Structure 1
Amino acid sequence: MLCTFILLFCFSADLFDFGLADPPGSPPAPVLIQDQNRGSSLVLRCQTPQGHKGRLFKLYKTQELVDTVQLDAEQTQAEFQLQDGTMEQETYYCCQYDNSMISPYTTVRAPPPGPIRPLTPPQLLVTPSDGRAIPGQMMHFHCQVPPTSLVQNPLTFVLRRRPWGAHIDQEVGRSSSPHFKVGPVSQKEGGTYTCLYQRTMSERIQNSDSSSAVAVNIAAHLPPPQLSHDGEGMLVCTGSPSYPGAHFSLYRQGADDPSARRHAPMVKHSAQFNVSEVHRQVGGGYQCQYSVLLGHEWAHSERSAAITLPCPTGSSFCSVPPTGYIPPSKGDRVDLALIIGSVSAALLFMLVVVIVGIAVHKHVKAAAVKRRQREQDTLWQQVHSRDHIVDLTLQRINFSPSDNFAEGNGRISVSEPIYDCPFSTFTSPFYK
């Protein structure tokens, strides 16, 4: 009791020294009441005595004016709201209305910390948008905070990466800016990326949930392999020494599907193919390729340069290409439609030439026949124009003296011709 009296005496002296002492004739002092908590804030209510009202209410923290409430009409009370960031563990407050006396001090205790609301996870954006990059390229990340997240405290953004095949995230960068730049990238930058942001509170750091993962794939540059023939019936495909244990495939030149596959041991970067297992064709080339599993995706090299396998004499596994087969050039495939079209055009052209030849032959033959006929007609016309026909018809004369002289007229009688057909003479014979 004695301590309380001494404390109130000291506060009254302090109020008088700082100009907060009650002036003479002032309205009676109000009462400051600590109201219930509202979320993360505390409400103090300044209530006037019975029969008194006010329009201007003031709140003091010890001797410091911290808040005022101006009302449109006189009221019996006013509320002051203290935010979580402005409250201390134990503080003394008092209030006043208009020019009234100062209320007794009220000890205000901060509410116990309640459960912290989780922060909305951000969204991670990457450029290029598909997450695919080539070695040496720069990649940009943006950790975007949702606009519905009301965060007033300073933020710290964290970018993390989980390499392919790993189970632990690695921190890539930490900054007050949501923008991150990674690069020039190489194969080790591949994996899944996430981000989060941190809010700094009075004595704690609150982390948001991680964003959705974004996959980043760095395209591998696999050198092309080399295909060789050891002369003993084996084809050797040699890849890059940087990728041992690769998967090798043997292709016939121009084919989409491999003729054979081999998996190299983990300590080797080459594979062998037995040519007796491959259906060989005279004039055909072969190529090889190797593939490597990088993370969760396969990377494929380019195909090697094509080589042609010699066909041993009397070999049973060499096939002779059909007539008219044209081996494809390097890197090209046989265009079957083009070959069929060319053959059809050639056959059609030959058919047209044969038909035209037959027609011309018939026309020339008919013209020759007509010409010989005209020559014969002309010749016989010339022969007939030189002929002279003379009628030498002979008459048979009857010499019957008894009959003729008996009549006494002395005439000779003529009988039928001796010959039935006339004779013709030629003035100029045809053959001399």
Structure 2
Amino acid sequence: MNINVALRARTPKLHFTRLCLSTARPCTTLPEPTLHVGRRSGASVSLVCRTAGGRRGREFALYEYREKVDSRELPSDASEVHFNVSVNEGDSGSDRLFCCLYKTKRGCFSAFSPYLKLEQRDVAPPPPTPALPPPLLSVEPPSGAVSRGAVLSFSCSVPALGGQSGSRPGPEGDPPTFLLLRTPERAGAPAVALRPQASRAAGAEARPGVFAVGPVTAGEQGAYSCMYQISKDRGAVNSSVSNTVRVTVSDAPPAPTLELQLQTDVWRLLCTGSPSYPGAVFSVYAADGELPVDTRRASATEHRARFPVPVQNATAARYQCQYSVQLGSYWSHSERSAPLVLTKEISPTPTPAEPAVDLPLVLGSFSAAVLFLCSVALAVVIARTQVKAAAEKKKKRQEAQFWSQVHARDHVVELTLRRSSFSSQEWVGGGTETTPTTPPLWNPLTTFTAPLHPR
């Protein structure tokens, strides 16, 4: 009997001894098997060692690194064998390498399979916790459309309790924790979780799963949903999210008026809204209908719309109208008008309805008239002041010209000088009386050169 010893290397470089016992005919090199992960169950993993090339083996062996950890000798040849390997939680940080080989009935050994690295993700996770049924969310009022300042009441209930907003006990009998989620209308805004505010009636205890939201503002508008949590050994378990309830908060415009009007011998329905909302969208409804019979948009300067009388089969029918305005990113809808009864066979012949007094239009016209009169009066005062100033300037200019002409004249005065000395003969003969001649008078203000003599 010959003994052949062969050394085979695998990564990492390890040397294993293969013994082939041959009788008359030596063993040929058998192809290496493959090793892969099979079933996962709890803390154990099934490793499958499978032959290649249609070969079959009688004995299979499993090695961890260099040490043989398990082997199977079969009563008949097989192409694969399952090995169960236990995995502990403490092994998550270490590398575990496995390989296998097989031996035929003749005693020929195969090469070692490539190493298989067993990682933590190959271990079966713990069995999942049964999913909790989603709750049911309802709101009061059911439509979800409220005005600013109203209070909303949400009820988050578990369907298994017959629709009652109570608690479903956890493992220790503790009631679940309910959460109300709000997704704002603004794109990209995160959801907000609201804690329940239990409503309290007189002499009644708080009910879990009931939320009171309000007085509401535009910030509370959006889509609402709820969920609940149950305490488990490993922590809180969340349920699925409930159905979505949409809440619309608006400043409702005043209700419109609907009347029958005769216009150019044709009956029409006139729906008049608030003058504060021109260009609104008007709709006519049957009194018991949810969908509009007709919808029209008013012009940018009008706050009313006219509709043709709807064709009706009944003897009498009631109609209402409503208008909607866009406030920012949402639409605000007014309340419906009072019902208007239209008869089919007998229709009174009313005189054309006198147009109602449009107070804003009257006030605007009066303000325009007052402004026009004030403008005219101001223009008159300004013109009169300018004319008066021009007259004053002209008068001053004329006076200045007059005085300049007066002062420009040549004032020449001739003065007659008489001799006042006497000779010695005349002084000696003083017996003769000499009467002095009165000098002529001269007025310095006169422009004449001739002297003035007194009369």
Same fold (TM over 0.5): no
TM-score of the superposed pair, with normalisation by structure 1 = 0.30
Give the greater-gyration-radius structure (CA): 1
